[in-house]
Chain A
């Protein structure tokens, strides 16, 4: 079973709020966990690729953590801005051949 689950499905916050999303995945035979940002009418763009248990990555106001033993990753956005409005996708790499399975995404809407 190639389950990658994301929660919540959607989130509506006010500008300035901090927020976080969860990505859950099977913990066995772990290779990598990807996070992508997907704006409406555009293509997904990579935020982070994480491979090691305990990894923490940061890009501006966005950061992510990884727990491979329990099978979850968190994405944090500090001080959300309207331009952060997008769908955030996580994906688990199932083999070294590139089998990348995506979750259903978390749709974030930030109101001014």
Chain B
């Protein structure tokens, strides 16, 4: 199993550009989440999904869109990139929620100029 994979590993955008961060998992996990890492703030939840077709907002959803058309994939879209979105983005998945740990992808480092 590849686990949770994320592409790209690094990305530089200009303000106003849009892009999609890809996340995929091959563990047949129903639950997937997107986080951003900010200095001194740990991980902040952007959006999460309980299964195909169902998504919900986390702590910091503004400026980001998600969709979940398959169990395996959970892409994160930046509609109009801003410098405040410069961060490292982590995708995670889990088999369940209450009793199950999350497995994290390797992260995507995004810089918005």
Interface residues of A (CB under 8 A from B): 2, 6, 9, 31-32, 34, 43-46, 49, 51, 89, 91, 93, 95-105
Contacts and interface: CB of A to CB of B under 8 A. Distances in A.
B43 interface: yes
A49 B101 contact: yes
27 contacts: A9-B40, A31-B97, A31-B98, A34-B101, A34-B102, A43-B104, A44-B104, A46-B101, A51-B98, A51-B99, A89-B43, A91-B43, A96-B97, A97-B50, A97-B56, A98-B32, A98-B33, A98-B49, A99-B45, A99-B48, A99-B56, A100-B33, A100-B45, A100-B102, A101-B45, A104-B40, A104-B42
Contacts of A93: 97-98
Contact of B102 (A6, A31, A46, A104): A46
A32 B44 contact: no
A43 B105 contact: yes
B100 interface: yes
Contacts of A44: 43, 90, 102, 104
B41 A104 contact: yes
Interface of B: 31-33, 35, 40-45, 48-50, 56, 58-59, 90, 94, 97-107
A20 B45 CA distance: 26
A101 B102 CA distance: 12
Contacts of B98: 31-32, 51, 93, 96
A18 to B, nearest CB: 24
A9 to B, nearest CB: 8
B90 A49 contact: no
Contact of B90 (A43, A51, A98): A43
Contacts of B40: 9, 104
